Amino acid sequence: MKAYLQEFFRSRWKRTLAIVSLTAIGALILLDQVIMPLAIHSRRTVTMPSVIGMAQEHAVALLNQQGLVVQDIQQQYDSTQPAGRVVLQSPYPGATVRQGRRVYLVVSRGEETVALPSLLGMTLREAQVALIRLGLQLGNVQTTPCELSLPGGIVEQIPPPGARVRIGSSVALVLCQDTAQTVVVPNVLYRSREEAESLLAEAELALGEVVLQRDGTFAPGTVLRQEPAAGSRVPRSTPIRLWVASDL
């Protein structure tokens, strides 16, 4: 009799557990397949507003007012918008979305800048290499009598060391140089590359990097830009960088 009762209650417990399990599974299916879709589709649709160019806090407030959820905010350097303003959004402006939709924003960190190192005491060539590595350009080069440094050394730079400048900015330099050892950079703008090389050689200067630049106005091979600028005094054999028109 005792064994019979134990088996009876054991079987009843198994049936109860099975019923509870099936009920839970059914509830989950009902929630996933019926209740949630109804809840989602019952939400009001809204037109995605444009928040491009808005300050981050104003953009988030506007989206929240529309019943949208800002899920993620990333930052990137951007030259089109000041720091703290939205440059990208997803979904895109004008899209029809339901309230509760997640929105992703990209906010500008402003223009990318670098801290200008000290170029004082360097030769012109050393300074030019240092600037190129930082994504900067060599600007106007002037000379001053050699009283403060060894001949050929840089004694002044504009902007000064430590200043933060935009990528692509030009840096002007002042060289301590015996004027007898310097030459004037000739104007080779809008001449052919061959003519430019000849003029530079006559001025005892070297041809530096040649950058091909697509241009539909001038014939291929025409010099569009030069650095240092024409009229600058630089040491003999200084490499002159040229931008030359290309049809590629």
Cα gap 198→186, rounded to integer Å: 11
Q: What is the DSSP letter of 163?
A: -
Domain ranges within the chain, ordered by starting residue: 45-108, 112-177, 183-248
Amino acid making up residue 100? G
Contact 226, 243 (CB under 8 A): yes
pLDDT in the model for residue 235: 81
Torsion, Cα of 12, 18, 23, 24 (10° steps): 130
Cα gap 140→25, rounded to integer Å: 77
CA–chain centroid gap for 59, Å, is 22
Question: Same fold for the domain at 112-177 and the one at 183-248?
Answer: yes
pLDDT in the model for residue 144: 78
State phi, psi for 150 to the nearest 5 degrees. Answer: -65, 145
Which residues are CB-contacts of 177 (< 8 A; sequence separation ≥ 6)? 143, 144, 146, 151, 152, 233, 235
pLDDT in the model for residue 149: 46
pLDDT tens digits in sequence order for the chain, 248 residues long? 555 445 544 566 566 666 766 676 766 666 556 554 555 455 688 999 999 999 999 999 999 999 999 988 999 988 888 899 999 999 999 999 999 999 999 999 888 889 999 999 898 889 999 999 999 999 998 877 665 445 568 889 999 999 999 898 999 999 886 666 778 899 999 999 999 999 999 999 999 999 999 988 899 999 999 999 999 878 888 999 999 999 76
CA–chain centroid gap for 202, Å, is 41
pLDDT in the model for residue 153: 83
pLDDT in the model for residue 69: 92
Class of domain 112-177: alpha beta
pLDDT in the model for residue 247: 78
pLDDT in the model for residue 9: 46
Q: Which residue has the tokens 């990097």?
A: 209
| The CATH number of the domain covering residues in 45-108 | 3.30.10.20
| The CATH number of the domain covering residues in 183-248 | 3.30.10.20
From the list 115, 112, 57, the residue with the least C-alpha distance to 80 is: 112
pLDDT in the model for residue 176: 82
Contact 124, 234 (CB under 8 A): yes
State phi, psi for 176 to the nearest 5 degrees. Answer: -85, 105
Which is it for the CA torsion 70, 73, 79, 84, positive or negative?
A: positive
Element (H, E) at 14: helix 2-30
